[in-house]
Amino acid sequence: MAYCRWGADGSAVYVYDSAYGGTTCCGCLLDNGDIVVNDPLYGTHAEMIEHLRLHQKHGHHVPEYVFTELANSPDHPLEVSDL
């Protein structure tokens, strides 16, 4: 399930539940120092919300409804054995 897509309502992020569990920030615009993680995967929606707040701090638009949907949806558990 996609929570938002690039350009929808001005969104600078594309966030969806991965088929393998967890939630992905596809083509993430943030970097972690020298390491760029293009599609970070988070095990809980709370972790994704924290990640998206970081996007906002960097000036990336994230529609507010995304936070509501993530907070009100059950986590999509990571299935590490399926990777």
pLDDT in tens, 49-60: 999 999 999 999
DSSP the chain: -EEE-TTGGG-S-EEEE-TTSSEEEET-S--BTTB--SS-EESSHHHHHHHHHHHHHTT----HHHHHHHHHS------GGG-
Give the pLDDT score at 19.
87
Query: Percent of the chain, pLDDT > 70?
Result: 86
pLDDT digits (tens, 9 = 90+) for 21-35: 899 999 888 866 555
The letter for the amino acid at 32 is N
Whole-model pTM over 0.95? no
Q: State residue 48's pLDDT score.
A: 95
